[in-house]
Amino acid sequence: MGAKEAVRRRWAALGWAYGLLLAFGVFFVAPFVMGFLASLKTDPLEWPFRLAFSQVSPKNWAAAWRLGQAGSGDPWLGGMRPGRQVALEVVYFVPRGVEPTLLAEIPRRKPGAGMGAVFETPYASDHVTLEGPIPLERRPAHQEEGEIIRYRLVLRYQGEGPFLERVPLDLEAPRGMVLVEATLDPTRFERRGRVASWDNVTPGLLGYVFHNYVRAFRETRSLETGESLFLRWTLNSFFLAFVKVVTTLVFASMAGYALARLRFPGRQALFLFMLFSMMVPGQVTFISNYLVLRDGIFGLSKLFGVETLLNTYTGLILSGLVGASAVFIMKQFFESIPREVEEAALIDGATPLQTLFRIVLPMSTPALGALAILTFQGTWNEFFWPFIVLTSPREIYTLPIGLLSFRNAYGQVGDWGLILAGGFFSMIPVLILFAVFQRYFVEGVNVGAVKE
């Protein structure tokens, strides 16, 4: 084989490698990117899919920032406070022969689905007065016969009143008149382009770009306390994941150590039994587990004055203190630690527990790290079992179950933006975890696999 041939081969190999990587990248990352972009859109089901839409245009970012600032002093989340005013400019093209009449209105608008449909929130139309549209400038159009008119609209919030989360606006023009430019692009056009409609003219930057995300937090309120349910669910998920990581680490390392190092009768049988329990899918045991929780673990919980463990975190945590696979991972890892280290501890007079916590565990950070990450990720995404145990009230849901309730509330009216946003939001912690602790993920698979 000549040098030329070798070079050719190397390039071919490189080509294959990068080609494959690129193909995989497109396969896995593209849906992710498209999903994220869609979650920003007003209509996430928009077809054909556009990459350039109003939420990604810097002009709108600047306008949203400025309008939010003017409306409430909060450039991020916007809204409108008493004593403030915002101004908006729109430019229309009016073809020759059409009388330019522009009607503006602050509509009385109520969400059609979800909690928003039932909660009474203050209406902007009751508090904000609209001035205009005032024609500012008229000039003939270049391309077509007709003229270009620039209008100005001023929204004033006079007197006292509540804070308004959003101020909608509708502009109605006769057929033929076309909106060519606006300070802030309208949320949607209706009635075949005649009505330009803004859901909120004081959105703030986040409120504009991450419209659906903000809605997810704002529109899901607890009926009792009025607090954001979505936030509650997120905190619940964090809490449960945290508790489960701690219990798993403690119990898996203790059990794993006992199985790896201590000699006691029935050890092998116990290990085999544990392996066996790993092979039984959760769907087989969930009914009996459910009944056990329902009766408060054979009535034991009644000693503490709790009738049933359904709909409680105690039940959920107790039933998932530690998994067999976690014990397995720790056992295998402990077996890879040289015995001599522990013997040295023994000579120094350490008890098995002291050996475990003082000597072995500090040496096991890779395994513990991997286990913690895998457990966190598993608990964060867990759906089936919490879904069965936690049914009500809604305040105790975890994020995945909460997302399901989104689907029920908003999916039936085709409001997918909120669901998509919720789904993306629930992904963020796992994503961060993965990015930061990537190394451990890979190790987690290897831990215990290689023995000396």
Partner 1 sequence: MLRVWLILLALAGLASAQVQVRISGWGGTDIAIVNGLLKEVVQPKLDRKGIRVVYQPIEGDYTQWLFNALSAGTAPDLFYVDIFWSESLFASGRVEPLDGYFSKQELAEFLPNLIQAFTYKGKVYGIPKDFNTLALQFNKDLFDEAGVRYPNQQDTWETFEAKLQQVQSKLKDVAGLCVVADFARFGAFAFATGWKPFDAKGHTVLDENFRRAFEWYTGLPRRGAARFAQDLGEGWTGGCFGGEKAATAIEGAWIAGFLRDKAPNMRYSTTFLPLDPVTKRRGNFIYTVSWSMNAASRNKPAAAKVLKALTSPEAQQWVLERGLAIPSRRALANNPYFQRPGKEPELNRVVFQGSGPQGGNVYPFKFLAYGGDWMRPINDALLAVMTGQKGVDQALRDAQAALDRLTGRR
Among 118, 134, 231, 280, binds partner 1 (CB under 8 A): 118
Applying CB under 8 A, which part among 51-59, 73-81, 111-119, 344-352 lies near partner 1?
A: 111-119
Applying CB under 8 A, which part among 123-131, 343-351, 361-369, 410-418 lies near partner 1?
A: 410-418
Residues numbered 321 to 380 that lie near partner 1 (CB under 8 A) are none
Nearer to partner 1, 171 or 356 (CB): 171
Provide the minimum distance between the beta carbon of 392 and partner 1 in the complex, in angstroms, as a whole number: 4
Among 114, 133, 146, 444, binds partner 1 (CB under 8 A): 114
Is residue 412 classed exposed, middle or buried when 0-12, 13-18 and 19+ CB atoms within 10 A define those classes?
exposed
What are the strands of the beta sheet with 169-172, ordered from one edge?
103-105, 169-172, 195-198, 188-190
Residue 429 forms beta bridges with which residues? none
CA dihedral angle for residue 70, residue 76, residue 80, residue 84, rounded to 10 degrees: -20
Closest among 171, 209, 199, 197 to 62, alpha carbons compared: 209
Kindly give the interhelix angle for 416-446 and 365-381, rounded to the nearest 10 degrees: 160
- What are 290's two structure tokens? 């459910």
Q: CA-to-CA distance for 327 and 307, rounded, in angstroms?
A: 31
Apex 214 CA angle, 83 and 313, nearest 5: 125
Provide the minimum distance between the beta carbon of 196 and partner 1 in the complex, in angstroms, as a whole number: 10
* Contact string (CB under 8 A) for partner 1, positions 20-49, x = contact: -------------------------x-x--
Note whether 252 and 330 are within 8 A (CB): yes
* Contact string (CB under 8 A) for partner 1, positions 213-252, x = contact: ----------x-----------------------------
Note whether 41 and 418 are within 8 A (CB): no
Nearer to partner 1, 221 or 244 (CB): 221
Provide the minimum distance between the beta carbon of 386 and partner 1 in the complex, in angstroms, as a whole number: 11
Residue ranges in contact with partner 1 by CB under 8 A: 45, 47, 107, 109-115, 117-119, 170, 172, 175, 190-192, 194-195, 197, 223, 290-291, 294, 310, 387, 391-394, 397, 401, 404-405, 408-409, 412-415
